[in-house]
Amino acid sequence: MNTTPISPPDLPTSDDAQPQIDATARIPASGDRALVLGGGGSTGNAWLIGVVAGLFDAGLDVTTADLTIGTSAGATAAAQLAGATPPELLAGTLAATPPQRGPVGGVPTRPVPDHLEKFRSIIAASDDVADMRRRMGAAALDTDAASDGSGQARWRATVASRLPSEDWPRRTVLITAVDAHTGEPVVFDRHSGVDLVDAVAASTSGGGSAYRIHGTGYVDGGYRANAENADLAAGFERVLVLSPFGGRSLYPADWGTHLATQVDALRARGSRVEIISPDSGSEHMFGAGAMDLSLRPAAARAGYHQGRALAEGLTEFWR
């Protein structure tokens, strides 16, 4: 197994150098193991923590991946795993007594069904995924223009309260988002000159508003391609994808963004890929129930039991 640390190329060489916010050019072109943590709302975040903790307790530590990709709820999980052990995070999730419902990301400005209806209408009106991203970004900026701006500070405080540490880890962690002004995808890393809290807040800003960093608005990383963005692991020998939504997508199949399409592309380039999705007994927690904070403990337990059950079969693949 290759255990040599991977150093991103072309980093700033002096304090005067301007950091390049988008880390796409710094993503290693190859490597050994990549962990992909997909989006899936509040219950998806709990399930991700449960799966990783179950694997960990069964003797398989996937947090040692050479590359970790976090999108939306998966961005929160990636940051959480950078500052605490999987058992610690699981214990905190099970001990919490959250209110009945709450935001998946950002500070929503309208009821969730209304947001989903608008999202579907934007998809229907879009020519492709790039057009959809531009339209979603424009809609978020329009929402922000009609608000008093207080939601940004509240959402940052909420995100910060969920992270055990606000420091980027030394290992390579990528957090996905979309530039609301241009519709271009953005990848944050520890060299982006962006605080970890802000990167996660941007990636989870899917409630209809944008999150601003250095004056630029960003929206949810799930709009980049899909809820997993597994394509960023291209060139890695082994890719483990944790997908709370099980690869389901509202995007048309001919856009070429579905998880299955990305996995086929990874395998065509020589990657071995394994996917973990919620089992049939817990799928109800990851659709309309993804925002129900009262389901977080149950989602975490479901993920934990899956992780424990799958660890033995994944050991040869991962190690």
Active-site residues, by number, are 72, 220
Closest by CA to 191, choosing from 67, 10, 28, 30, is: 10
Alpha-carbon distance 29 to 8, whole Å?
Answer: 10
What gap in Å lies between CA 270 and CA 264, rounded to an integer? 10
- Compute the distance between CA of residue 46 and CA of residue 301 in angstroms, rounded to an integer: 8
**What are the residue ranges of helices labelled H in the chain?**
41-57, 73-81, 86-95, 112-125, 129-145, 150-162, 196-203, 259-268, 296-318
All residues at 6 or more sequence positions from 18 whose CB lies less than 8 Å from its CB, including other chains:
12, 193
Report the amino acid identity of residue 271.
S
